[in-house]
Amino acid sequence: MATKADFRTTLQDWLPKLVLAPSFAVTLLFVYGFILFTVVLSFTGSKMLPKFTWVGFENYEKLFALPAWSTAIVNIAIFATLYITICTLIGLMLAIFLDQKIRGEGVLRPIYLYPMALSFIVTGTAWKWFLDPGIGLERIMHQWGWESFSFTWIKDGEMALYTIVIAAVWQTSGFVMAMFLAGLRGIDNEILKAAQIDGASNWQLYRRIVIPLLRPAFLSAFVILSHLAIKSYDLVIALTGGGPGRATEMPATFMYSYTFTRNQMGIGASSAVIMLMTIAAIMVPYLYAELKEKK
Amino acid sequence: MSAVTQDTAVSTGRITRAFIYLVLILFALFYLLPLYVMGVNSLKPLQEITGGNMMALPSEWTLDPWRSAWSTAQIGVEPTGLKPYFLNSILMVVPAVAISTIIGALNGYVLTKWRFRGDTWVFGLMLFSCFIPFQIVLIPMAVVLGKLGLAGTVPGLILVHVVYGIGFTTLYFRNYYASFPTELVRAAMIDGAGFFRIFWRILLPVSGPIAVVSVIWQFTNIWNDFLFGVSFGGTSQPMTVALNNLVQSSTGVKEYNVHFAGAILAALPTLLVYIVAGRYFVRGLMAGSVKG
Q: State the CATH number of the domain containing residue A175.
A: 1.10.3720.10
CA distance B4 to chain A (A): 6
The verdict on a CB contact (< 8 Å) between B290 and A17 is no
Question: What is the average per-residue pLDDT within A122-149?
Answer: 89
The verdict on a CB contact (< 8 Å) between A23 and B107 is yes
**Do both A203 and A240 map to the same domain?**
yes
**Do both A267 and A221 map to the same domain?**
yes
Q: Kindly report which listed range (A182-191, B257-266, B279-288) carries the lowest average pLDDT score.
A: B279-288
- A30 three-state secondary structure: helix
The verdict on a CB contact (< 8 Å) between B136 and A94 is no
> What b-and-e string marks burial along B66-95, b requiring 16 or more CB atoms within 10 Å of the CB?
bebbbeebbbeeeebbbbbbbebbebbbeb
Distances B132 to A100, A269, B169, B243 between C-alpha atoms, Å: 38, 14, 16, 26
| Among candidates B10, B129, B220 on the partner chain, residue whose Cβ is nearest the Cβ of A27 | B129
Q: Which of A44, A121, A214, A284 to mutate to test the interface with B (most CBs of B within 10 A)?
A: A121
Sort out which chain B residues have CB atoms less than 8 A from A20's CB and list them: 106-107, 110-111, 122
Sort out which chain A residues have CB atoms less than 8 A from B262's CB and list them: 125
Q: How many CB atoms lie within 10 A of CB A145?
A: 7
**Do both A149 and A14 map to the same domain?**
no
Sort out which chain A residues have CB atoms less than 8 A from B178's CB and list them: 294
CA–CA separation, B9 and B270 (whole Å)? 36
**Does residue A192 sit within a domain?**
yes
Residue pLDDT, tens place only, B31-59: 999 999 999 999 999 888 888 888 889 88
| Among candidates B6, B131, B223 on the partner chain, residue whose Cβ is nearest the Cβ of A279 | B131
Question: Which chain B residue lies closest to A226 (C-alpha atoms)?
Answer: B131
**Do both A159 and A65 map to the same domain?**
yes
Confidence class for position B2, pLDDT limits 50, 70, 90: very low
Sort out which chain A residues have CB atoms less than 8 A from B264's CB and list them: 122
Could you tell me if A184 and A101 are in contact, meaning their C-beta atoms sit under 8 angstroms apart? no
Sort out which chain B residues have CB atoms less than 8 A from A290's CB and list them: 291
Question: Which chain B residue lies closest to A111 (C-alpha atoms)?
Answer: B28
Confidence class for position B4, pLDDT limits 50, 70, 90: very low
Sort out which chain A residues have CB atoms less than 8 A from B36's CB and list them: none
Question: What is the average per-residue pLDDT within B198-211?
Answer: 89
**Do both A128 and A254 map to the same domain?**
yes
Q: Which of B113, B120, B139, B145 to mutate to test the interface with A (most CBs of A within 10 A)?
A: B139
CA–CA separation, A232 and B226 (whole Å)? 11
Q: Kindly report which listed range (A197-211, B37-51, B100-114, B262-276) carries the lowest average pLDDT score.
A: A197-211
**Do both A136 and A25 map to the same domain?**
no
pTM: 0.88
First to last CA, chain B: 10
The verdict on a CB contact (< 8 Å) between A30 and B141 is yes
For residue A48, what pLDDT is reported?
84
Confidence class for position B287, pLDDT limits 50, 70, 90: low
**Does residue A135 sit within a domain?**
yes
**Do both A37 and A62 map to the same domain?**
no
**Does residue A50 sit within a domain?**
no
Domain hosting residue A7, numbered range: 1-41
**Does residue A162 sit within a domain?**
yes
The verdict on a CB contact (< 8 Å) between B267 and A118 is yes
Residue pLDDT, tens place only, A17-28: 999 999 999 999
Confidence class for position A2, pLDDT limits 50, 70, 90: low
- Angle, helices A160-185 vs B256-287, to 10°: value is 30
The number of domains in chain A is: 2
- What region, left, alpha or beta, does residue A200 occupy, with left being phi > 0 and alpha being psi -120 to 50 degrees? beta
**Do both A5 and A101 map to the same domain?**
no
**Do both A32 and A133 map to the same domain?**
no
- Residue A98: pLDDT over 50: yes
Which residues lie below 8 Å from residue A210, measured CB to CB, with a gap of 6+?
A96, A184, A187, A192
Sort out which chain B residues have CB atoms less than 8 A from A267's CB and list them: none
What is the residue-averaged pLDDT of chain B? 87
> Does the domain made of B83-287 have the CATH classification 1.10.3720.10?
yes
**Does residue A126 sit within a domain?**
yes
The complex scores an ipTM of 0.87
Sort out which chain A residues have CB atoms less than 8 A from B30's CB and list them: 170
Q: Which of A17, A20, A141, A203 to mutate to test the interface with B (most CBs of B within 10 A)?
A: A20
For residue A1, what pLDDT is reported?
47
Nearest CA among B290, B284, B130, B292 for reference residue B213: B284
For residue A294, what pLDDT is reported?
56
**Do both A16 and A92 map to the same domain?**
no
Confidence class for position B9, pLDDT limits 50, 70, 90: low
| Among candidates A24, A116, A185 on the partner chain, residue whose Cβ is nearest the Cβ of B4 | A185
| Domains in chain B: boundaries | 12-67, 83-287
Question: What is the average per-residue pLDDT within B88-109?
Answer: 95
CA–CA separation, A48 and B230 (whole Å)? 18
CA distance B111 to chain A (A): 8
Question: Which chain A residue lies closest to B19 (C-alpha atoms)?
Answer: A97
